[in-house]
Each structure stands twice: as structure tokens, then as C-alpha cells.
């Protein structure tokens, strides 16, 4: 008997696939909807290999309310949703913003409407630390707590912040409306999970991030330098007032992050708190040079990089204050940035083509044995 049944939108993506795995391991049944626009169905095979059972899967666009309705109708056991499905490239969001608003905001509205029709009333939302924008505007807000003022500086971040508002207003309204009608109002709950810099891969070496096109995060780019797919890493600025001049970010292992989703879901289902925002970060900041060094140590050789000018919009320090999640969710990161580097290297060195190639037989054999 499953603990519960959860719909995961965007469940074949990077964080979605790890969260699916965490939920299966915790005894949940999982139904995935994903458009496969920026992910691969192969992720489901890997999840099955690791979890020993397979999530249900439907190729559905998040803006397609009818298709969502059909999935909910087919799986009446679903009581909660973890919502990842979204366009997620910051740079692209400034080039095709209307598409970002349509898919991310419009898709979330469609999802909430469909959930309502099927009486599914818990939503865990994949937000982002991007909603804080330049938190260094507020000197007493580093590391960043959840009450730091919101102020995203790009379209991607604005879509996340808008969806937070939509979920907050809707959950609050539903609770108020149901309470007035004398109905059980506590059932409507929302978790807004603001991630810092997700990184790393599964320790088995068969599941990880599979960026389409040019990656836009530091560690996947370093991974490509290490595998020879990229000549060198560009470091944007070494004149920040940090310990070595490069910018500070809070790197969180994707396995920890996935567990954070599980804990948030459990909290919503057991405590029924209404809407809550939680930072998911380690509380530890690493500079770009520290990441390069840690990853080079794992690879066993120096990796080529070049320092260029700061990128406009980049800020000195984005480190989470994860105290609220530590205390309320009884969750904290357990895996270090160094461990994320190890796992990432195992993933990219064994699967330089990501999910477009079979992993080495010895890795698969090790999983079957375990």
C-alpha cells in the first residue's frame, strides 16, 4: 500500500527525476507528466533501475488542461502535486518572455484549475532563489532568509515570483472560502521551495543532469571542460569583494534537494499549514575558484579557465539561510559540495552524451548487485 500518490509535473527533468526517485524510495506512488520538451524519457528507465519500480508517465504539456484532467481522472488516488514543469533558461527568458509567461504562469494556472476539479489540494512548487534578485541590496540579508524582500531581476525569476503569488492567493482564498462554508479547509496547502544552486548527480553514475544545448551553470560547464567537450571555463569577474575575488553561491546536491521536496510534501500532508516558503540551500557559500579547485581535485588534473569581465546582473553573494527548513522540515543538506563534484564527475565521465548513450555495463551491474 503506497504512502500516497503524487503527480510530478516535469518529472523527467533534472530535479524532477531525482524527486521522483526520492518519493518512490519513500513509498509513494508517482505519476509523471512531462512534455519532454527539454528532457528525456530515458530518465524513467534509470529511475526504474534505481527504485526497482516504475512511475506512470504521460507526455502532457502543462498548459493543456484537458490532458491534465484526463491524468487526474485516470489516477483518482493522486492527493498532491509537485510542480516542476517550466521553461528554465534565464538568458532565453529575456529573448522569448511571452513564451515563459505563457508556459510557466499560464501552465501553473491551468494546473491549479485542473487540481481543483479533481479535489487535489496540496502543491509543492519548484520556485527559485532567483525570486530574491539582488539580495545584496539588503546588507543584513546575507545569508538570505525567506523574509528577504522579493525582487527578481529577470523574466525567468519573475515567472517564479508570479507563480508564488498565484499559489499563495489561491490557497489562502480556498481555505477562507471553504471555512466559511463549514468545509474542511485545511486540505489546501502550498509549499514554495526556493532552491539555491542545484548540482551533482546520482552516486550510481547513471542518473544526472542532461542539458540540451549549452549548459548555463558552472558545474555542468566544468564537467564539459573535464570531458574535453569544451575548451575552457569562463570565470565572470575576479574583482568581487570575496575571499578570492570570485562570486559566492550556495551549491546544493540534487539528492539533498530531492529529499527537501519529500520533506516539504510530508509536512504539507501531515501539518496542513496553508502556504509556506522554504529556502533549500546548505547555508555554505563557495566561490567560483573553490568550485574549480574541488572539481579539479576529483578529476585529478587542472581544468582550464579564463577570467573575463563580470556579467551584468551577477551579484557577489547568494547564500541561503536554511534555518527555517532545518527546523520546520527537519531537513538539512547532508552531502557536501565536494561530494557533488565527485558524483558529477562519475556521471559525466561515464555518460558524456548524457541519456543519449547507455551507461557502462559495470555501473549497471553494480546497481543490480546492490
Q: Which residues of 165-184 are buried (b: 16+ CB within 10 A; e: fewer)?
A: ebbbebbeebbeebeeeeee
Which of 73/95 has CB closer to a copy of itself? 95
Closest distance between a copy of itself and the C-beta of residue 162, in Å? Answer: 5
156 is an active site residue: yes
Closest distance between a copy of itself and the C-beta of residue 177, in Å? Answer: 6
What are the φ and ψ backbone dihedral angles of 83, each rounded to 5 degrees? -110, 100
Set of cell numbers at residue 336: 557536501
Q: By the 8 A CB rule, do 298 and 345 touch?
A: yes
Set of cell numbers at residue 12: 523527467
Closest distance between a copy of itself and the C-beta of residue 77, in Å? Answer: 24
Which of 191/218 has CB closer to a copy of itself? 191
Nearest-Å Rg of the Cα atoms of the chain is 20
Set of cell numbers at residue 250: 550556495
Residue partners of 309: CB distance under 8 A and separation at least 6: 236, 237
Set of cell numbers at residue 288: 567560483
Which of 52/149 has CB closer to a copy of itself? 149
Q: By the 8 A CB rule, do 198 and 257 touch?
A: yes
Closest distance between a copy of itself and the C-beta of residue 96, in Å? Answer: 7
Give the DSSP letter of residue 276: E
Say which of 14, 156, 170, 355 is annotated catalytic: 156
Q: Which residue has the cell 546588507?
A: 139
- Neighbouring-strand partners of residue 59: 34
Which of 59/177 has CB closer to a copy of itself? 177
Which of 160/259 has CB closer to a copy of itself? 160
- Neighbouring-strand partners of residue 128: 195
What does the H/E/C string look like for 204-273?
CCCCCCCCCCCCCCHHHHHHHHHCCCCCCEEEECCCCCCCCCCCEECEEEHHHHHHHHHHHHHHHHHHCC
**Helix 107-117 to helix 65-74 angle, to the nearest 10 degrees?**
40
Closest distance between a copy of itself and the C-beta of residue 213, in Å? Answer: 18
Which of 169/358 has CB closer to a copy of itself? 169
Closest distance between a copy of itself and the C-beta of residue 106, in Å? Answer: 6
- Binding residues for a copy of itself, per CB under 8 A? 94-98, 101-102, 105-106, 109, 112-113, 116, 155, 158, 162, 165-166, 169-170, 173, 176-177
Quickly count: other Cβ atoms within 10 Å of residue 254's Cβ.
Answer: 26
Which residues are known to be catalytic?
Answer: 156
Amino acid at each position: 500500500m503506497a504512502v500516497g500518490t503524487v503527480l510530478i509535473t516535469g518529472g523527467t527533468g533534472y530535479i524532477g527525476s531525482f524527486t521522483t526517485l526520492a518519493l518512490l524510495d519513500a513509498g509513494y506512488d508517482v505519476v509523471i507528466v512531462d512534455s519532454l520538451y527539454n528532457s528525456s524519457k530515458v530518465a524513467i528507465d534509470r529511475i526504474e533501475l534505481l527504485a526497482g519500480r516504475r512511475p506512470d508517465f504521460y507526455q502532457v504539456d502543462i498548459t493543456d488542461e484537458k490532458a491534465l484532467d484526463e491524468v487526474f481522472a485516470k489516477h483518482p488516488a493522486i492527493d498532491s502535486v509537485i510542480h516542476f514543469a517550466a521553461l528554465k533558461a534565464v538568458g532565453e527568458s529575456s529573448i522569448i518572455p511571452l513564451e515563459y509567461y505563457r508556459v510557466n504562469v499560464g501552465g501553473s494556472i491551468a494546473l491549479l484549475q485542473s487540481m481543483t476539479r479533481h479535489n487535489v489540494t496540496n502543491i509543492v512548487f519548484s520556485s527559485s532563489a532567483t525570486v530574491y534578485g539582488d539580495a545584496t541590496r539588503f546588507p543584513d540579508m546575507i545569508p538570505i532568509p525567506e523574509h528577504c524582500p522579493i525582487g527578481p531581476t529577470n523574466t525567468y525569476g519573475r515567472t517564479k515570483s508570479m507563480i508564488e503569488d498565484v499559489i499563495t492567493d489561491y490557497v489562502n482564498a480556498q481555505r477562507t472560502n471553504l471555512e466559511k462554508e463549514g468545509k474542511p479547509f485545511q486540505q489546501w496547502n502550498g509549499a514554495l521551495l526556493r532552491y539555491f544552486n542545484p548540482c551533482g548527480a546520482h552516486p550510481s553514475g547513471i542518473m544526472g543532469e542532461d542539458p540540451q544545448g549549452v549548459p548555463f551553470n558552472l558545474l555542468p560547464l566544468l564537467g564539459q571542460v573535464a570531458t574535453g567537450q569544451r575548451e575552457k571555463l569562463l570565470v565572470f569577474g575576479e574583482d568581487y569583494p570575496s575571499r578570492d575575488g570570485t562570486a559566492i553561491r550556495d551549491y546544493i546536491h540534487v539528492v539533498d534537494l530531492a529529499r527537501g521536496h519529500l520533506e516539504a510534501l510530508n509536512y504539507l500532508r501531515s501539518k496542513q499549514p496553508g502556504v509556506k516558503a522554504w529556502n533549500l540551500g546548505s547555508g555554505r557559500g563557495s566561490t567560483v575558484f573553490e568550485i574549480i579547485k574541488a572539481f579539479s581535485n576529483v578529476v585529478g588534473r587542472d581544468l582550464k579557465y579564463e577570467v573575463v569581465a563580470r556579467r551584468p546582473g551577477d551579484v557577489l553573494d547568494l547564500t541561503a539561510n536554511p534555518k527555517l527548513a532545518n527546523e520546520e522540515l527537519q531537513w538539512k543538506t547532508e552531502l557536501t559540495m565536494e561530494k557533488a563534484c565527485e558524483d558529477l564527475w562519475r556521471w559525466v565521465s561515464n555518460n558524456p552524451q548524457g541519456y543519449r548513450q547507455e551507461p557502462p555495463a559495470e555501473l549497471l551491474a553494480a546497481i543490480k548487485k546492490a
